[in-house]
Amino acid sequence: MKPGNKYQVVVVGAGHAGIEAALAAARCGARVALLTLSNNSIGRMSCNPSIGGLAKGQMVREIDVLGGVMGLAADFSGIQFKILNKSKGRAVWSPRAQVDKRIYEQYVKESVVQATGIDIIEGEAVAPILKKGNIAGVKTVDGGVISANAVVLTNGTFLNGVIHIGQKKIPAGRMGETRSIGITESLEEIGLQHGRLKTGTPPRLVKNSIDWNKLDKISGDNNPAPFSHFHKNFKPPNVPCYSITTNRSSHDIINDNLMLSPMFSGDIRGVGPRYCPSIEDKINRFSDKNSHRLICEPEWFNSDQIYLNGFSTSLPEDVQLKTLQCLSGFENIQFVKPGYAIEYDYIYPYQLKLTLESKCVPGLYNAGQINGTSGYEEAAIQGLVAGANAGLSLKGREPLILNRAEAYAGVLIDDLITKSTPEPYRMFTSRAEHRLVLRYTNANRRLANKSLECGLIDESKYVVLAAQISATDKAIAECENSVIPDQVNQLIILSGNKPIDQKIPLKILLKRPGVLLSSFEGTTISAPAVSKPYKDEILLEADTIIKYHGYIDRSNRQINKILKSDMVKLYPRLDYNLVVGLSTESREKLCSIKPETLGQAMRISGVTPADISVLSIFIAKQERVSRET
Amino acid sequence: MFNVGTVVAQSTPYGYGGIGIVRLTGPDTVKILGDLTNRSKDELGFIKPRLAYRWIIFDENKEPFDDAVLTLFKGPKSYTGEDVLEISCHGSPYILKYVVDLCISYGASPAGPGEFTRRAFINGKIDLMQAESVANLVSASSHRGVNLALNCLRGKLSKEITSMRDEMIDVLSYSEHLLDVSEEDLTTANISYIINKTAKIHEKVQKLIENYNTCRIMTYGAVVVLCGPVNSGKSTLFNSLVGSERAIVNREPGTTRDLLEALIIIDGVPITLVDTAGLRETADDVEMEGVRRARDYMNKADLVCVINDITIGSALVEVTDYTLLKKNYIVNIYNKIDLIPKKDIEEFRGLFKPGLFTSALTGVGLDELKNHIVTTLDLESNSSENFGITTPRQYNAIFKSDVAMAAVLEIAEQPPVQLELVSFELQNALNSMEDLLGTKTADEVLNNMFDSFCVGK
């Protein structure tokens, strides 16, 4: 390491958040130091061997349009691709991929190495350095100093991390990797508040100890869709996963040993995620369920190590083994590593601005699990936003702020600040009140311009995105073309609809469920002029815009209303004690969160519509007074 | 509860009375109580809430001023949620004004209109509908109206809407769970669960909508408009119904140029009776304005009585305006039957549109008319629920929710089901109910989703 070096941005941590942060800051023209505990753990996938999934897949698409690496890496290392939620309406369709963890890590590391303006430094930060209240760099464990104008903290689960396996406690950031100490304490010193969370990971199984014939095979889509928008060709493998279900006797073993789990014995204070509960939690809370589905996922291509999705646990290793041995196919099961729970510190994210910069320490940015989120995708998009804003602010440029109606990333960051969720935050489509307009197929349209303006993508990438958007528009325009009964009736009948008796514009016909635009490619409409992997998707998106027209319009009307309240700025120095008529709860929340806009204030839990009326009257009055004086 | 100052107001109407009440609320209530009664902090420390004290109120020179009864309600167990003091003084307007001024001199400020109720709402003592019902209760014009408002204030309506909202949250969480967590494909069982639950709530919503008319009329009164050609006897009829000589009656056509209103009660139903200018083309500006207003009123009316002069007989002209109105809101009245031979009446019955035959002058047929008005208003007098929505704001919100639920049922019955659209409409229905309650529950759906269903891997 090169102590005393002067950088513009230091990124602490090289996980999914840190990497996107470093790359984004560098794309915005900053000189970046990426500080990692170990050169070998850059871009590590610490938990599941997959990228994307419900709501997360949409975020990977957003990362890709914003020039990030996650989508490209997942496409490059993917071994099975699938669009989830196919039976439930296309606004919630989400891409997901099983990936080869090793290739993924290699690809990501290589991207950082190749990027201009990033130095990778092996070392451990112990505290941020402040000069006159502004960030000035970080102190390292060996007493060195890395100076910088901005610091992005992406420490993941390493802040005072403690691993729990049964009664065993191991101080660590990940299994076998040292944790970092000192950062939480030094942040506390500069006035930031923190809490503690818990997350878990399932055991890794020895491949040859599984009787695969007794498991059910799950394959990916035959017609895979990539995450990234920038491929010419896309031909990934389709490696299957296998499912197995738990049974009563395995549940009995867990119930008998419940008190050995630190979750139940009280050893773990941190709050775990309800949506990704440990197996002991699931069995305890939903005792009426006779079985739970588990999925065996290869950690890499031809992996001898199998990730057991759905069996996150902190029970003692022997109990984990005994439980799994009850399952047909797992009679002789062996572990590479047992499952474990990890507790770590996080910094309450309400202390951040929408740029992810700290409200009280200019130049300090936090992203990823340090903000209380869970998941690779959630971390990556925060890293990207934080890194971009660190870079943009140094150049004196407008920040990258995404609103709730243009990106899941906007929902994520706004929620972190206003909701103060007491458990690890994972994205869901239902968190996005405008999800009908946040589709994986329109991330290009939503974000391409902003991305270009911020310098996150170059002209060549923008041209690709613009071509996809205009191909969609062209397809929609061609749906004004009419179709005649003879030409389409056979198809309509097959789709379960009533035949037509006279010629009608295609767009009218498409309103019928089951009649798909793709069936008219090459006849009524021309093939989209984009590279091959995206042709189907362009038609799908055009079809969606036509079919959902009324709903999209209604959503947009709601959005416009809400964006108006997001335009009303609340100044950080506003003294809520002077606002007559607020309830005590809102007053306290508003004082501590200090929302940046009226819209944000509205979304704080406990702040009622009545409080918002009171507040808006107060602001209007103040503005009038300041205009008149 | 929070520091927004103490306010004071006279609660009983202005004018002389046996007693009058001054009410105070806010953080300085107890201090001002001490100032008014010349009592030390220590003495005030022993005062028991909700107990009436007969104490002397002292004037600005600390001389005895009035013998009053004071009751202190400590927040949050009070109407506003803050400390409340009720001072019953002797009912001279001078005394009451003086006591209010004293309170102001001790640091209170005059309360704005509805301030006590507003504070109760902000402090979470009552919800928006309960706040509205306070106004309804104060202005209620019938026994049933009082009943409705009281039940609403006591939270019966809020409870019903809240339980509907909770059921709504359940369905929505179920749907969101299917969208966001479940890895299984959608089944017909999933869909019928949503349909059944939504239909059940929808039924309740429709019931509220059906009862809206009755509840509104019981609270505010029904608007019954008398209209018709000039000189058909509208004002005479108006006077007979009101039972006093209020409208000026004159034989010259076009006498009633403006509107006359009176509140009457028929069978316990409050009715605002409106007499209008006779409808005819006229060059007189004032009369024209009267005709315009008459037409406006007919649009707002719950019931329009079209009064015709039976003596004009076969020459009876149907005024086109009436035909614009919906049939069931119209009663045709053939007036002045005292001026024609009895035997001709039966003959007329066959000739005219169905209607009532009256003589406003002699009172013949008026009881029948009154009965007819009440029946035509179609009040659900037998409705078992003694609560319902009463204001246009409430109606608007519940109506939106009704429309959204109808959409849910329509989308859910159309395969392949677009579940996210079902959720979209469920969310809209839920939002409207929350508008109705004046609350928001943004996080409840997610919380419910996590807590009630086994989720995730």
Strand extents, DSSP E, B105-221? 109-110
Extents of the domains making up chain B: 7-122, 143-216+387-452, 221-376
Kindly report the pTM of this predicted structure: 0.81
The pLDDT value given to residue B454: 44
Contact B446 A431 (CB under 8 A): yes
Total number of domains constituting chain A: 2
Whole-complex ipTM: 0.84
Amino acid code (one letter) for A77: S
**CATH superfamily ID and name for B143-216+387-452:** tRNA modification GTPase MnmE domain 2 (1.20.120.430)
**Exposure string over B355-390, b if 16+ CB within 10 A, otherwise e:** bbbbbbbeeebbeebbebbbebbebeeeeeeebbbb
Last residue of a domain, one of A484, A517, A552: A552
A513 contacts on B by Cβ (under 8 Å): 414-416, 418
Rounded to whole angstroms, the Cα distance separating B262 from B368 reads 20
Task: List the structure tokens of B11.
Answer: 């609660």
CATH of the domain at A615: 1.10.150.570
Whether residue A152 is predicted with pLDDT greater than 70 in this model: the reply is yes
Q: Which of A310, A430, A582 is closest, CB to CB, to B179?
A: A430
Rounded to whole angstroms, the Cα distance separating A404 from A407 reads 6
Best of B125, B180, B190, B432 to disrupt the A interface by mutation (most A CBs within 10 Å)?
B180
Contact between residue A502 and residue A509 where contact means Cβ atoms under 8 Å apart: no
Are residue A580 and residue A624 in the same domain, yes or no?
yes
Position with higher pLDDT, A231 vs B186: A231
Give A581-611 pLDDT, tens digit per residue: 787 778 888 988 899 998 889 888 878 777 8
Identify the CATH number of the domain defined by range B7-122. 3.30.1360.120
* DSSP calls for B43-83: HHHTPPTT-EEEEEEE-TTS-EEEEEEEEEE-TTSSSSSS-
Rounded to whole angstroms, the Cα distance separating B321 from B295 reads 8
B432 contacts on A by Cβ (under 8 Å): none
Rounded to whole angstroms, the Cα distance separating A89 from A54 reads 13
Q: What are the residue ranges of helices labelled H in B301-341?
A: 320-324
Written as tens digits, the pLDDT of chain B (457 aa) is 333 689 998 888 777 888 899 999 999 999 999 999 999 988 888 899 999 999 999 998 999 999 999 999 998 899 888 899 999 999 888 899 899 989 999 989 888 777 788 788 777 777 777 777 777 776 666 666 777 777 777 778 888 888 999 999 999 989 988 888 777 788 889 999 999 999 999 999 998 888 887 888 877 778 888 888 878 888 888 888 887 555 555 555 555 666 777 878 887 778 888 888 777 767 777 777 777 777 777 777 888 888 888 887 644 455 545 545 555 578 888 888 888 887 777 777 777 777 888 888 888 888 888 888 888 887 765 555 567 887 777 888 899 999 999 999 999 998 888 999 999 999 999 988 888 887 765 556 656 555 555 443 3
Q: How many CB atoms lie within 10 A of CB A226?
A: 24
Position with higher pLDDT, A19 vs B293: A19
Q: Which of A87, A276, A310 is closest, CB to CB, to B185?
A: A87
Are residue A464 and residue A509 in the same domain, yes or no?
yes
Strand B356-357 versus strand B330-335 pairing type:
parallel
The pLDDT value given to residue A275: 67
Contact B118 A581 (CB under 8 A): yes
For chain A, percent of residues with pLDDT exceeding 90: 68
Contact between residue A491 and residue A519 where contact means Cβ atoms under 8 Å apart: yes
Rounded to whole angstroms, the Cα distance separating A591 from A605 reads 14
Contact B2 A603 (CB under 8 A): no
Q: Please count the residue pairs, one from chain A and one from chain B, whose beta carbons lie less than 8 angstroms apart.
A: 114
Are residue A548 and residue A573 in the same domain, yes or no?
no
User: CA of A294: which chain B residue's CA is closest?
Assistant: B457
Task: Chain A: give the shortest CA distance to residue B119, in Å.
Answer: 8
Query: A25 lies in a domain?
Result: no
The pLDDT value given to residue A245: 93
- Phi/psi at A13 (nearest 5 deg)? 110, 135
Rounded to whole angstroms, the Cα distance separating B102 from B19 reads 18
The pLDDT value given to residue B456: 35
Query: A474 lies in a domain?
Result: yes
Give A93-149 pLDDT, tens digit per residue: 999 999 999 999 999 999 999 999 999 999 999 999 999 989 999 999 988 999 999
The pLDDT value given to residue B156: 81
Q: Which of A88, A292, A610 is closest, CB to CB, to B438?
A: A610
Are residue A607 and residue A544 in the same domain, yes or no?
no
Q: What are the residue ranges of helices labelled H in A3-55?
A: 16-27
Are residue A471 and residue A533 in the same domain, yes or no?
yes
Domain span at A593: 568-628
Residues in chain A: 629
Contact A430 B3 (CB under 8 A): no
The pLDDT value given to residue A320: 95
Are residue A485 and residue A511 in the same domain, yes or no?
yes
Query: A274 lies in a domain?
Result: no
Q: Which of B256, B335, B271, B278 is nearest to B303 (CA)?
A: B271
Query: A327 lies in a domain?
Result: no
**CATH superfamily ID and name for B221-376:** P-loop containing nucleotide triphosphate hydrolases (3.40.50.300)
Whether residue A575 is predicted with pLDDT greater than 60 in this model: the reply is yes
Are residue A483 and residue A516 in the same domain, yes or no?
yes
Contact between residue A373 and residue A416 where contact means Cβ atoms under 8 Å apart: yes
Chain position carrying tokens 């041209």:
A463
**Which of helix, strand or coil describes residue A135?**
strand
Q: Show the CA angle centred on residue A34, arms to residues A30 and A39, nearest 5°.
A: 150
Rounded to whole angstroms, the Cα distance separating B168 from B174 reads 10
> Any idea which of A284-288, A560-564, B122-126, B161-165 has the lowest mean pLDDT?
B122-126
Query: A577 lies in a domain?
Result: yes
Contact A292 B454 (CB under 8 A): yes
Contact B181 A292 (CB under 8 A): no
Q: Which of B261, B256, B190 is nearest to B229 (CA)?
A: B256
Q: Which of A77, A78, A80 is nearest to A106 (CA)?
A: A77
Task: List the structure tokens of B164.
Answer: 């509907």
Contact A608 B439 (CB under 8 A): yes
Q: How many CB atoms lie within 10 A of CB A501?
A: 8
Which residues of chain B are at the A interface, by a Cβ-Cβ cutoff of 8 Å? 1-5, 118, 121-124, 128, 176, 178-181, 183, 185-186, 414-421, 423-424, 427, 438-440, 442-443, 445-446, 449-451, 454-457
Are residue A531 and residue A599 in the same domain, yes or no?
no
Task: Chain B: give the shortest CA distance to residue A521, in Å.
Answer: 22
Query: A350 lies in a domain?
Result: no
Q: Which of A39, A31, A41, A59 is nearest to A115 (CA)?
A: A31
B121 contacts on A by Cβ (under 8 Å): 610
Give A530-559 pLDDT, tens digit per residue: 998 999 999 999 999 999 999 999 999 889
A611 contacts on B by Cβ (under 8 Å): 122
Q: Which of A289, A312, A430 is closest, CB to CB, to B180?
A: A430
Are residue A477 and residue A527 in the same domain, yes or no?
yes
Rounded to whole angstroms, the Cα distance separating A484 from A506 reads 9
User: CA of B438: which chain A residue's CA is closest?
Assistant: A609
Contact A88 B179 (CB under 8 A): yes
